[in-house]
Structures are given as C-alpha cells and as structure tokens.
Structure 1
C-alpha cells in the first residue's frame, strides 16, 4: 500500500497577491508549519483570490513543507477555521478509510529525513507531492495501528509537558530583567536618543521567490514569537533594495502596522533586508545592545505601551515618531552584557531540548 492509496497528496495553490491587512482569507505557508508538528496560525498573510475548493483547509489535514531549508517538516491542522493552502505546502488529506490520521502523521514524521534528502538535489531543496505519494505505508492490523498511535501520543504529551516547563524559563527571563533593571530605577531615555538618527521605514517592494545570491527580505509575518525568523524565505522584487535596506548588527526593527503591531526583531546575522511594514533603528552600541532591548520589548510593560500608543481601529499602527519616544531603562553596558549571556544560556537549553525531542519522536516512530 502506498500513501496515495489512502490519502490525496497534492500541492497548495500558487497565490499571486498577499496582504497583511487581514482582508480576505488567511493563508497557510511553509513558515506556519513548526518543527514540533504543530501549525502556528496567528500571523498569517491574507489573500482575496478565489481558488478551487480543494485548496481550502480541512480539519486534520496534514501539511508538508515542499521546499526550502526545512523541507519535510510536517504539521497537522487542529482547527475548523478556513484557510487557503499556499503552493509550496503539500496537502495530505485522508480519503474515506479507517486508518487513523495520527498514524499517517507519525508515518510521515518517520520519513522527514528521507523527504529532505530526496529534495536536496538542487540549489533550493524541492520535492514533488507525487514523490511523497509513492511512499510505502506499512500494512498492519487495526490493533497494531492503535498501539503505535497510543505510544507516540504518550511521548508527545511528555514532550508538551516539558515545553510548558521551558515556557516557565521565558517568564524567568522577564522576571530577571525586571529585578536587574526596572526595579533599580535606572534612568530612562527615549529610543531616538539611543539610536543613530530616527526610525527608518523599510522597502515597499513586493516579494519574489528566494535567490540565494541575494538578501532575504524580512517581513512582519516572517518574525516568530521568539524573535527568530520562519522558513518562508523570499527576496525583494526590486534588486536596488538589496543595498538600500541591508541589515547589520545593532539594527532593531519594530512592526508598525497590523494585528502584530509592536512585534520586534533584533538582527542576529545573515544577508537580510527589511520590508516596509517594519521600522528600523540603528542602535548606538555604546549605550544599548539589541539583546537587551529585545528582552525589554517582551515585558508586559512594553505590551501595555503598545496598546496605549497604537492608533487606528481597523488597522492599528505606530509610526516612527511614536516608537522614537519609547522610554527604556538604560543600565550600564556591562550589566546588559551579563544579562544577555544569561539569556543565551537559557536559550541553549531550549535548543538542546528541541533536538532531543525530535530524536525521541523519530526513534519511537520506527515502531511503524
């Protein structure tokens, strides 16, 4: 038995026009699929394009990244809401049969490495849904299937419990920041006074398919909750943007508009430029470091500031002038660096756990 015998396996729709104004239908893209098998749907782009019904999401669809650095990552949809699935996301939709969808999900988890290896034959990893549809699914009886799913579900619950414990570390970082800097009443200064010049708006160009010889085009929707970037890598349609909006260490970006106004991104390295819904500040590194400022923007104090200072009911926004007035406690640089080192160590433990969790899932999936 092969996968396409029990599931429809095909690509999503090649959407041409996106918007970040929440107009139309939200779109599931590669960047929405997380490495832990879940799908993050809070920061979707939208489209007003009309598509065939088969490209609309269905509850318990399985989605696969078909291209890019994380080709093969898999997520299962646990929501009834309607989304449109983008082209480079593979749709695995169970046909009318008695095979549990969770069994199919774990089967695909088991083949994540295979998918990536088969996709890696060119500069930009890429795999066809037809290839995945030909994968052989083990023929086992219903009781064995149920046993496999129960074992893997149990492991997943253990992992999720551990993740909740790691979320506690995030709260610990915030509490440490308040203890070290806010409660000591360090003098506060406006962001403009801690930066070289005023805030700068990003490129207004559309995005096009990624070309590894050019910079990544960083948009609001690319920034994840932990301040890192997702895997939905694109370039600007305008080559001239590659120099005009290039990011470097010390650059700090704020989302200026939309549902995630206030979201922040501290440039961490790589060849990148920033898009128009972001505002960049070039920090004076003799006064403040980006790692310190980023943790400040994760505090409840900052979120409250965003809520009070955004304008516009239909499309909330904060402009560069307003962001420039944000008042930040300025601790001595050495204390900022000590705190940044503490955060780095905490984040290392998270990365280690993530890799260990994926290894456990992979090894246990050999039960299939």
Structure 2
C-alpha cells in the first residue's frame, strides 16, 4: 500500500497520513430558518451568507433577532468555522472569532468542533485544492449554487493521526493568517489616513488655505492652472507594443495600476518602433502622465527614475512640470476629489469619455510656496512608500501561504 505523506513535513513527525471523511472529523451543521418578520434593529446579530466575505472574514451589515435563543445549538460563540452553503459565496470558508453571541442562519454551515481534529488544522485543510476540487464536483453548473451538509460531510481528506502534528500545522497557518490580518489592517489604516490628508492638506473650493498645515508654513495659496506649472503638455507615441527587449519599456493606460498608480511591470513590453528616433517620448523626472480617454480617463502616473527607460503611448498625455514646482505635490493634486470631479465633468462626451491636453491644462489648482510644496509632496511620498511596502508584504505572505497549502497537504 502506498504511503501517504505530504511534500513538506513538520519536524519530528514521521507517521503516514490517513484518509478520513469530514463527517468523522467535524460534521457540518445547518442553521436556523429565521422568519423575516422577526428581524429587528437590535438584539443578537445573525450570520447570513452575505456576511461571509471572499477574504475569509465575517462582517458587513447584520440583521438582528431580538427574541431569546430560537435554539441554543444555533448560537455561535468563540471560534466558529463557517461555510457559505448557497449564493455567490457558496463554498467560502470564514472563521468567526468572538466572545459575543451570534445566530447561525440556515444557509450558513458550522463545522462542529467536537475535538476529533485540531480546529486550526481543519481551517487550513478547507483552504486547499482537495476541498475546492470536491466542492466543484458537487456544484451544478448553471444552477443557483448551493450545497448540503450531507454532501460536505462526505468529502475526504488526508490528515495526520497525531493531534500534535495537526496542531503544529494549524498553529503555523493561524500565525500566518494573523500576520496577514495585521498587515491588512495597517494597510487599511494608511490608506484611510491618505484619503483624509488628501482632503485636509489641500484647500477646499473657495478657500485659500488648507484645513491642516504642516509645521512652519503660513500664508495664502495661489490659484494657478496646470498649464502654468508645466513646460509642455504632449501626446504619446503612436506605436504598437512588442515583446520586451530588456531595456526599453512601454507604458500604456493599462500599465498604470488603478489603486497605487505605480507602473505595473508584470507584463512588460517595448514600443514596436525605432526608439533611437523617439527621444521626445522618453519619460524624465518631473513627468506626469494622464489617461486621456476611455473608462480610465483621469488616471495619472508620476514617473519614477527607478522605473528605468520608459516611453509613453498615444492614449496618454505627458505634463512636464517646471523646475520651480514640485512634481510630487502636483501629482498628489491629481488624486484629490477636486481633480476627480473636474475630470468627470470635462470628460463628458456624446461618445467615449475623454479629456484632451488643452482641457487638462485648464485644470485649476492651489499652490503654496515651493518649500511647502516639497514638504507636502515628501509627506505623501513617504505615505505612499508605506502603503506600497505593506502591499508588497501582503503579496509575499499570500504567495507563501499558497505554496505551503500546496506542499503541506495532500
């Protein structure tokens, strides 16, 4: 008989793994069929399928049930491993970890923690391909997704007999999830801080000073147009893309990340043209690109010298910022609600939305003295670096988790 062992083992554990049905480990229990007229705005929250997110968390808006327990067994408290059993999130797993009580809706399954398996280990097992493949096999294509507890209970998994090995593996993944959660919380805080400061560090309409000033600065800001702070506003290169030649990068609208506004380098290309004749389309420091048409109109990118030798494509407009103005400060202006609203109004066309170079040049912004521009630009640059660092760390941890889920389970 073939020995069943995973590719990667926890140190000091050597026994082979065995195949078992989920029913013998933690049978799935359905919830309570609450009647809609019993829902209240106060009471005990009900976990419904809409509260189970694609990210494995329980949240969102809850409905409440104010009556005493419909049945004690449908009360969730402590660590509860849940499964969405119908709807768009069918098959999604979430861990509810709370000392507060929740009710379990009938379309939400609960894996009963009877002590037959380490709960953290089980949570990890249910994130593997072994679970996904069996789930897909019982879902009916084209129908409203739904699954029964009987179907889930019949799923089989290879697990170690030793609870100690299960616990070691479960603890590893719980630690990894906690670390991911911490980085995601910090990322959300930094992103929220940036949104707040973009609102408060720039003057509101009709104002000549911002709500918040960095230390050491005073005086009113001056109203100018984008064309007043630029040496030129020019359209990009009219050339198709080809396979990346290892040196000359080509940036198009789709190469600018919608959220971070960084140059995405996961699928680099080069302009399909003799670049020796295209120096005018080569980006330099203090260059800002603007998307001029389509759904992404208004999306911007500030050239970073670390991006290397970059040529910009025809559906982008380059604004080259004058030496006496801070390009980082100007770029952050393009992330404000004020700029977004300008683009929304200006881009309205009978056909595809768009903003041309002349129209971008007419955008009005408020500018302080150079030193304050530089201070604000540096503030947001540092904040952007923190956000990028957290995004990169989250990506690395998610990649690590995916690899471990492949190699530590069968």
| TM-score bucket of the superposed structures, by smaller chain | 0.5 to 0.7
Corresponding position of 1:132: none
Distance 1:167 1:305 in 2: 23
Aligned match for 1:317, one of 351, 354, 368: 354
Distance 1:216 1:139, change over 3 A: farther
- Give 1:82-231 correspondences, 5 Å limit: 102-104=127-129, 140=159, 147=170, 152-153=176-177, 155-178=179-202, 182=210, 186-197=221-232, 199-213=233-247, 215-224=248-257, 225-231=259-265
Give the TM-score normalised by structure 2. Answer: 0.51
- Indicate which of 287, 292, 301 corresponds to 2:338: 301
State how many pairs are aligned.
242
1:37-116 to structure 2, matched below 5 A, reads 102-104=127-129
Displacement of 1:250 in angstroms is 1.5
1:239/1:165 CA distance change after superposition, 3 Å: same
Q: Which segments of 5 or more consecutive residues in structure 1 lack a partner in the other structure?
A: 4-36, 39-58, 61-98, 106-137
Question: Per the alignment, do residues 300 and 244 of structure 1 end up closer, same or farther by CA in structure 2, a change over 3 Å counting?
Answer: same
> Larger deviation: 351-360 or 188-197?
351-360
SS at match of 2:262: coil
**CA 1:324/1:162 → structure 2, altered by over 3 Å: closer, same or farther?**
same
1:342 is displaced (CA, Å) by: 1.6
CA deviation digits over 1:202-258, x for unaligned, max 9? 012111111113x21111111112221112211111124642311101211111001
- The alignment partner of 2:231 has SS state of coil
- Residues 242 and 272 in structure 2, CA contact (< 8 A), matched pair in contact too: yes
Answer yes or no: is 1:271 the counterpart of 2:304.
Answer: no
Aligned partners of 2:328 and 2:381 also within 8 Å: no
Q: CA deviation at 1:344?
A: 2.8
Q: Over residues 158-199 of structure 1, what are the superposed CA-to-partner deviations in whole Å (9 max), with x where a residue is unaligned?
A: 4433322121122243134226954575221111121113x2
TM superposition shift of 1:261: 0.3
Indicate if the aligned counterparts of 1:155 and 1:361 stay in contact, CA closer than 8 A: no
The change in CA–CA distance for 1:164 and 1:212 in structure 2 (over 3 A counts) is same
Q: Which moved more, 1:268-277 or 1:340-349?
A: 340-349
Does the residue aligned with 1:102 lie in a helix, a strand or coil?
coil
Report if the CA contact (8 A) 1:185-1:329 is conserved: no
Determine which structure has the larger strand proportion and give its number: 2
TM, length-normalised to structure 1: 0.56
Distance 1:273 1:361, change over 3 A: closer
Once residues 340 and 6 of structure 2 are traced to their aligned partners in structure 1, the CA distance between those partners, rounded to angstroms, is 50
Q: 1:315 to 1:211 in 2, by over 3 A?
A: same
Q: Alpha-carbon deviations, 1:33-77, whole Å to 9, x = none?
A: xxxx99xxxxxxxxxxxxxxxxxxxx99xxxxxxxxxxxxxxxxx
User: 2 CA distance for matches of 1:185 and 1:304?
Assistant: 23
1:181 and 1:249 mapped to 2: Cα distance? 28
Structure 1 residues 285 and 176: CA distance shift in structure 2, 3 A: farther
